[in-house]
């Protein structure tokens, strides 16, 4: 029987470095001999990219409940067609955003309630949880400074207070799921954050990854 791949998620507020650090973690895993697939939510499939477009760039107003259903549909599709097949064939999956984001944005900051989101998530994932969730914690004010000059999407354009609540929502999610979650301070340099990510991955997953020379 093939040994299963790991499922590692990076999540956190806007500009915390999810995409940057996922790419670096993928490189570190590959250098250590892992077969790795990098993916992201929302999206990661053809149909998912349409849902992503509607969520982030659509012109319709959506309630937090409607957003959560869109995200959850994308999650179900992505789990069934991308994540689970990869893990089952021994490929480690590094995913940029996951259920923690729906909990933080729609459940916590949007007021839908984290238990409602958890219920939807369980349906979508059939109980599949990450082996490790790294919450990259940052003050959204710093995150948005990093993204200065970028065109902001529908959710990024929400008010500052909302994004501060999102940050709290991620911390709350990690607190509620200590078995697989770790909060990492994401306000250092790219290399410092990469060191922390690698160290936590090594400790929590019993790996022996070396940090990249950045």
Ligand X SMILES: Nc1ncnc2c1ncn2[C@@H]1O[C@H](COP(=O)(O)OP(=O)(O)O)[C@@H](O)[C@H]1O
Specify the DSSP element, H or E, that contains 38: strand 36-40
In angstroms, rounded to a whole number, what is the distance separating the alpha carbons of residues 162 and 12? 14
Q: Which is nearer to Mg ion, 19 or 66 (CB)?
A: 19
Sign for the pseudo-dihedral over CA of 30, 198, 18, 77: positive
Determine if 146 is a binding residue for ligand X (CB under 6 A).
yes
* Smallest separation (angstroms) from ligand X to the CB of 155: 11
Q: Which is nearer to Mg ion, 19 or 202 (CB)?
A: 19
* Smallest separation (angstroms) from ligand X to the CB of 67: 18
Whether the upstream peptide bond of residue 42 has omega within 30° of 0, thus cis, is yes
Determine if 157 is a binding residue for ligand X (CB under 6 A).
no
Region 4-43 residues binding Mg ion, contact defined as CB under 5 A: 18-19
In angstroms, rounded to a whole number, what is the distance separating the alpha carbons of residues 125 and 112? 19
Q: List residues near Mg ion by CB under 5 A.
A: 18-19
Interface contacts to ligand X, rule CB under 6 A: 14-20, 146-147, 189-190, 193
């Amino acid at each position: 029987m093939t040994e299963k791949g790991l499922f590692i998620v990076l999540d956190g507020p806007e500009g915390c470095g999810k995409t940057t650090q996922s790419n670096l973690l993928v490189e570190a895993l590959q250098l250590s001999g892992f077969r790795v697939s990098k993916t992201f939510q929302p999206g990661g499939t053809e149909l998912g990219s349409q849902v992503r477009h509607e969520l982030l760039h659509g012109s319709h107003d959506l309630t937090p409940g409607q957003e959560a259903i869109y995200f959850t549909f994308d999650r179900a599709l992505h789990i069934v067609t991308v994540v689970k097949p990869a893990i089952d064939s021994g490929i480690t999956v590094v995913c940029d955003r996951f259920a923690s984001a729906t909990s933080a944005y729609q459940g916590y900051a949007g007021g839908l309630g984290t238990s409602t989101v958890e219920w939807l998530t369980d349906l979508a994932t059939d109980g599949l949880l990450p082996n490790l969730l790294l919450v990259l914690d940052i003050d959204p004010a710093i995150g948005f400074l990093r993204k200065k000059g970028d065109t902001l999407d529908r959710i990024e354009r929400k008010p500052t207070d909302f994004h501060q609540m999102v940050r709290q929502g991620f911390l709350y999610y990690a607190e509620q799921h200590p078995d697989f979650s770790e909060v990492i301070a994401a306000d250092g340099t790219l290399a410092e954050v990469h060191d922390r990510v690698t160290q936590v991955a090594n400790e929590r997953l019993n790996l022996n990854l070396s940090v990249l020379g950045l």
